[in-house]
Amino acid sequence: MEVIKQVHTIRERVQALRCSGKTIGLVPTMGALHQGHLQLLKASAAENDVTVCSVFVNPTQFNNPDDYELYPRTLDQDIALLETVGCDMLFAPGAEEVYPRQHTLLQFSFGALEAVMEGAHRPGHFNGVATIVSKLFHLVQPHRAYFGQKDLQQVAIVRQLVHSLSFDVQLVCFPTVREEDGLAMSSRNTRLSAAQRQVAPQLYMALKKAEAQLRQNPVPTIKAGVAAYLGQVDGVELEYFEIVDPATLQPVAGLDGMQEVALCLAAVVGPVRLIDNLLVNLNGH
């Protein structure tokens, strides 16, 4: 596996690959890789001639400087993992390589899509996401790009970005990979203490309880139930829980006529902010 840190080098490699007719898969990450990432990398290796993984902790998508500084960085460990799953290239640039001096951050607007959930609670977050994803798509020129469902709103934002800017790339989204106790795999999980790790699966339990109530209770009752359930868990502070249309991510007032909904939440466990979601087919029973 080749490790590339310069923009001009990744451009040269990609140009040569495309000229030779190779298909390229891209798995964008911020590192601290886990089985969720590896699932995406294995899929890319199976579907493309060349797989590129990017590892870049993107400063422009953090609205909390402390969160950026504390985000886990485990490049040596990541390299060892990448070599086990058929990754051909690692693009791991420094911040100054991606955002040169005098760089002006572009402004994106995603309308209603970014006015809810993560967009509402993390101002500027999706502008940073759109900026780095645009840069990676330009630099790597992938035929396919792979994302995980855990970041459901991010996938929707990237899908809109691809449509609006006419990127010639196919987005591939894979279901969330979970620990045995249900906790969604996340690089942030490594920051949880042993005690916090024990309570973190309650987020998934709250989603499952909400799922079980979908056909028996109105939306406000379900939302109140989730808030009450997590309110009784020491060390967990619910930031939001929403029942939304999976296509638009807009909150729904009722379930009449809905075929599928997404249950989405964010909560702080100790010092760590975690997100999770479930897609529920209402015609499944």
Q: Which residues pair with 274 in a beta bridge?
A: 267
Q: Are 121 and 239 in contact (CB under 8 A)?
A: yes
Q: Is 102 annotated as a binding residue?
A: no
Q: Is 33 annotated as a binding residue?
A: yes
Q: Is 285 annotated as a binding residue?
A: no
Q: Is 185 annotated as a binding residue?
A: yes
Q: Are 242 and 116 in contact (CB under 8 A)?
A: yes
Q: Is 154 annotated as a binding residue?
A: yes
Q: Are 207 and 231 in contact (CB under 8 A)?
A: no
Instruction: Out of 8, 37, 125, 163, pick the active-site residue.
Output: 37
One-letter amino acid identity for 54?
S
Q: Is 32 annotated as a binding residue?
A: yes
Q: Is 61 annotated as a binding residue?
A: yes
234 CB neighbour count, 10 Å cutoff: 7
Q: Is 148 annotated as a binding residue?
A: yes
- Is 37 among the residues known to form the active site? yes
Q: Is 124 annotated as a binding residue?
A: no
How many C-alpha atoms does 196 have within 13 Å on its Cβ side? 17
> What span, in angstroms and rounded, lies between the C-alpha atoms of 268 and 43?
31
Q: Please report which helix (H) or strand (E) contains residue 187, including its range.
A: none
Q: Which residues are annotated as a binding site for beta-alanine?
A: 61
> What are the catalytic residues?
37
Q: Which residues are annotated as a binding site for (R)-pantoate?
A: 61, 154
Q: Which residues are annotated as a binding site?
A: 30-37, 61, 148-151, 154, 177, 185-188
Q: Which residues are annotated as a binding site for ATP?
A: 30-37, 148-151, 177, 185-188
